[in-house]
Amino acid sequence: MTKEDIKRMALESGFSDGEADYCQSIIIHLATLVAQQEREACAKIADIAEPYKSADLIRARGQA
C-alpha cells in the first residue's frame, strides 16, 4: 500500500484534503498497524489450510 493509496482511502472515508495532509503520518501509522494485523490473521488461516507455504508468502509481504 502506497502513501497515495492511504491518502485516497482517507479522503474516501471523509477526511478533507487538508485534514488528510495534516494527519498523514498518523494515518499512515494506523494503516500500517491495520495491515500488519490483517496480514497475520490471513497467515494464521493459511497455516491451517496449507502449512508454511502460503503463510510465509503472506508474512513476507510485510517485509517488502
pLDDT in tens, the chain (64 residues): 788 888 898 899 999 999 988 888 898 898 889 989 988 888 888 777 776 677 777 777 777 5
CB atoms inside a 10 Å sphere around CB 27:
20
* CB atoms near residue 42 (< 10 Å): 15
What nine digits make up the cell of 1?
Answer: 500500500
Cell for 52?
508454511
pTM of the model: 0.61
Is residue 11 within 8 Å of 22, Cβ to Cβ? no
